[in-house]
Amino acid sequence: MTPAPGPHDPQSPGFATRAIHAGQDPDPLTGAVAVPIYQTSTFAQDEVGQPRAGYDYSRAGNPTRTALEQALAALEGGRSGFAFASGMAAADTYIRAALRPGDHLILPDDAYGGTFRLVDKICVPWGLTYSTVSLGDLAAVRAAIRPTTKVIWCETPTNPLLGIADIAALAEIAHASGAKLLVDNTFASPYLQQPLALGADVVLHSTTKYVGGHSDVIGGALIVDDPELAEALAFHSKSMGAVPGPVDAWLTLRGVKTLAVRMDRHCDNAERVVELLVGHPRVARVYYPGLPAHPGHAIAARQMRRSGGMVSFSVVGGQEEALKVCRRTQLFTLGESLGGVESLIEHPGLMTHASVAGSALQVPDDLIRLSVGIEDADDLLADLRDALD
């Protein structure tokens, strides 16, 4: 298998080339161009304790999963990649591998609701402490650091408010106090943003979203440079067992191959949608980092290739009006998740972010979130116009 290039290797081929080839050499036995689905739990050994190609049991490792892990590491420019059964499994495994009871974690004040729930309901009883802070306010981040702070957990752009955090500045703050910076890169995808090159220590993905890209598989990933952390992750992954099966790994890998072309189309379509929303009398506010008025616009322009396919907006008339728009679209399917080829619409307050209601992370009740798909932009605009009018 083609090894993942080292971090930020100038010899490394372009992104789209890596997406199609890294970790995906033709099968040495048959020449199969697509990585085979090694649907097996165990592997024959020629001698006691001597696995043939390093594989002994699929919880610890499986060749289809290895191909995905090498591809993801190559796309993020990291030394080691780990695939998981879901984004939340990746988050949980990282926390257990890198943190201990008594440690402190800084979470963004608009973190993905599931991340907040994992930390607040599962890791706090385990002994973790945490603070939420607006990552856009670097002075507030510095003030939130404690002697026990081990990790700053960053999402950028954030879900669902599309807030932007300065990855390089946060890495500097984290490292100055001996902490690490994790970036949940789900919203951007490795095509639009590569946090390790900006100083982050860990990249997390819900590969369920743009990386898989077809709304047909749940998965997660961690990509790191540090060999010691990689060893801890391999040990925890094997011990906790939250790994994807070979079919899920294969489906995700198939999605990876088209990530570059899909992301450009997501961005093209989102830009058209934003143009419509900004000028629409029934729209009160549009959240999109590509807008010059967005408070994180300059940082996004610096650290992202383009502004992404996620758009949030609030409507005039509050929650009732927002719910009506969500019910009226035809092409934008009412549903959770994001990053698939098909466009989705949702009400974060009552859907994806219901778990943060009543907490510091509560989202506005007139907010609508769009995952803009790769359909014909004109059809998407017509659908939104009909739903708004």
Dist. CA 161–CA 136, nearest whole Å = 12
Burial code (b: 16+ CB inside 10 Å, e: under 16) for 228-241 equals ebbebbeebbeeee
Q: Is 38 a catalytic residue?
A: no
Q: Is 210 a catalytic residue?
A: no
φ/ψ of 108, rounded to 5, equals: -65, 150
Q: Which is nearer to ligand PLP, 15 or 187 (CB)?
A: 187
**Residue tagged active-site, from 59, 117, 254, 285:** 59
| Alpha-carbon radius of gyration of the chain | 21
**Selected binder of ligand PLP within 63, 81, 87, 373 (CB under 6 A):** 87
Say if strands 149-155 and 104-108 run parallel, antiparallel, or are unpaired.
parallel
Q: Which is nearer to ligand PLP, 99 or 162 (CB)?
A: 162
Size of residue set near ligand PLP by CB under 6 A: 15
- Asked if residue 327 lies in contact with residue 334, where contact means CB atoms within 8 angstroms, the answer is yes
Site for ligand PLP in 148-167 (CB under 6 A): 155, 159
* 371 in contact with ligand PLP (CB under 6 A): no
* 114 in contact with ligand PLP (CB under 6 A): yes
* 313 in contact with ligand PLP (CB under 6 A): no
Q: Which is nearer to ligand PLP, 112 or 332 (CB)?
A: 112
* 212 in contact with ligand PLP (CB under 6 A): no
Q: Is 59 a catalytic residue?
A: yes
**Selected binder of ligand PLP within 74, 83, 88, 388 (CB under 6 A):** 88
**Residue tagged active-site, from 94, 112, 130, 287:** 112
Beta-bridge mates of residue 47:
50
**Selected binder of ligand PLP within 58, 70, 156, 208 (CB under 6 A):** 208
In angstroms, the first-to-last Cα distance of the chain is 54
User: What region does 201 belong to: left with phi over 0, alpha with psi -120 to 50, or beta?
Assistant: alpha
For 322, the 3-state DSSP assignment is: helix
**Residue tagged active-site, from 103, 110, 184, 248:** 184
Beta-bridge mates of residue 368:
313
Residue nearest to ligand PLP (CB): 87
Dist. CA 309–CA 192, nearest whole Å = 10
Q: Is 130 a catalytic residue?
A: no
> Contact residues for ligand PLP (CB under 6 A)?
86-88, 112, 114-115, 155, 159, 184, 186-187, 206, 208, 218, 220
Q: Which residues form the catalytic set? A: 59, 112, 184, 209
